[in-house]
Chain A
């Protein structure tokens, strides 16, 4: 009951003008970054990360949540209007939405996408608030060997979910783990890999990795592909006329889609959000596939199915709520955006775990409220206010946009610690991430390896220390055995079961440009 009243208090916190302003600014920034092909909400939060050093933790978390929700929804705007998904999670919406757009029903498709996102996002946020106390209780039952197996499970899922490039996924994850070992050892006061320099004794901060992997590398990729056909497509799209009155989906269409479709997709999306590394693309794809499987009109799929749009958007926005569960309880991010939000928590001295909810629920409650309000109110409001101008907004010159991103990224790296060394590190990781993305190595895996590496090492060594070096402790401890069996089950399900045709479950965009899961 206490926790519930704290969660309710989170909504009151949003009434504070400063917090409200951060939520709205975050939502608008997230909408822009999500709608703009090539930019993602991960990049938006990455650029926010240095700023969190100068603002309070509550506005920073509120802003992160609204960026996350907005970014997940707004990918559907360019997906529908110009058939270029703003984010990979809108791939299925592009298939159905653009088919409707060609039939002159673009505004109707955008309306259904917004409604699906609104319902899915709200359900995801409610499920998050409802199950967080339960998740906290469960996490208290997991002991050190179990925690090791859980982190191992997360890393294995992150690697195998990218079936097309598992070896590269493993390389990227191990690179992240290696970078995390630089600095003082996790258990003993022993410096590692500082190569005789004082600077590296403190280890590598998450910020230059995030800024480099998501911001600097994006600028470099755009510098290489600056004369793409996208500019011309956006120029042509400026003439598209969309009227506000067409946004509102008729009740008959909503009834035809079926309320159960929204709810089922939201639950699927939330469940997938809990899985580490799966993310919005998988949530949208699985929800879409399930809806198609149970549809009375499967022939509409691929030709402008409103049910397909509703399922995909409901699923990917509900994922936002699910992704926070493992991040807040175990420090295991469900997707790249929550990985960066984890950075926001750590910068502000908050350690994920069941104690976080017990002792600092008042700091988290406004973030949950922001997730809910963003889905329920800001998505339809933004569509109503800015819907007719979306395509013009995303037609902004790339030269201006990426130059501005480069300045924010670099100055942001400086302001975090007032150090040009951090700026240099961000550029170094940016160059590394540029080559990784060009060669189809996942930078998301690099980041998750960096975040989870120290936990993996710490829990492994502690478990072995407690069992006098006997590795059988991982099989004799019931919680550890459970997660090891779960890992084996996932390996079987994803790798060994008969391969099914794939749709849009990949993590990266066609050129690796979109790195959001």
Chain B
């Protein structure tokens, strides 16, 4: 999938996804039951309904614009692929999942190492790579735990 073609499709898919989300939101607005709303006045459900209506109109305009002017959205960088952002999101999801069980030091070291690989930072010099990983983990441990006194999760003892 080339970047241009991908985002050309995405330009149409994105508002469609938002339309689905708006529909869920709009439907959920009917489940809001006000404790008291005098007749003729606005209750907690009315603004969400109004916003949903406006959103549908705006999304329709965007969809028409996207379909009419496909060239206008084909401005993404040459060779831009979603692979690296997906890898970053996967690494981040794993980091969040492991943050408490493994503790700050180990999980952050793994996360930083993963990002260095994604960004191809010092991957050819393993020792420098490892030193930078340890450096980043230590600097931010010092910032959060040392300077701001935040209790970060640990695996064993107080540090690791």
Contact = CB atoms under 8 A, between A and B. Distances in A.
Interface in A413-453: 414-415, 418, 420, 423-424, 427, 431, 434-435, 438-440
A389 interface: no
Nearest to A457: B47
A420 B136 contact: no
Interface residues of B, number: 74
A221 to B, nearest CB: 8
Contacts of A228: 77
Interface in A374-420: 397-400, 402-404, 406-408, 410-411, 414-415, 418, 420
Contact of B93 (A174, A427, A438): A427
Interface string A445-489: 000000000001100110011001100000000000000000000
B34 A171 contact: no
A404 B65 CA distance: 38
A435 B77 contact: no
Given A403-B121, A406-B115, A415-B148, A181 B47 contact: yes
Nearest to B41: A469
A397 B132 CA distance: 12
Contact of A411 (B18, B65, B89, B108): B108
Interface stretch (A130-138, A187-195, A247-255): A187-195
A205 interface: no
Contacts of B7: 438-439
B99 to A, nearest CB: 6
B81 A190 contact: no
B136 A188 contact: no
B155 interface: no
A435 B62 CA distance: 15
A454 to B, nearest CB: 10
A410 B92 contact: yes
A428 to B, nearest CB: 10
Interface string B105-137: 000100110011011111000000000100010
Interface in B80-113: 80-82, 84-85, 87-89, 92-93, 95-96, 99-100, 104, 108, 111-112
Contacts of B95: 410
Interface string A204-242: 000000000000100111111110100000000000000
Interface of B: 7, 10-11, 14-15, 18, 22, 25, 28-29, 32-36, 38-48, 51-52, 54-55, 58-59, 61-62, 65, 73, 76-77, 80-82, 84-85, 87-89, 92-93, 95-96, 99-100, 104, 108, 111-112, 115-116, 118-122, 132, 136, 139-140, 143-144, 148-152
Interface of A: 51, 54-55, 167-168, 170-171, 174-175, 177-178, 181, 185, 187-190, 192-193, 195, 216, 219-226, 228, 397-400, 402-404, 406-408, 410-411, 414-415, 418, 420, 423-424, 427, 431, 434-435, 438-440, 456-457, 460-461, 464-465, 468-469, 511
23 contacts: A54-B150, A170-B58, A171-B15, A175-B18, A178-B55, A185-B44, A190-B33, A193-B48, A219-B88, A224-B77, A224-B81, A224-B84, A224-B85, A226-B119, A400-B132, A400-B136, A402-B119, A403-B121, A410-B95, A420-B96, A427-B89, A464-B42, A469-B38
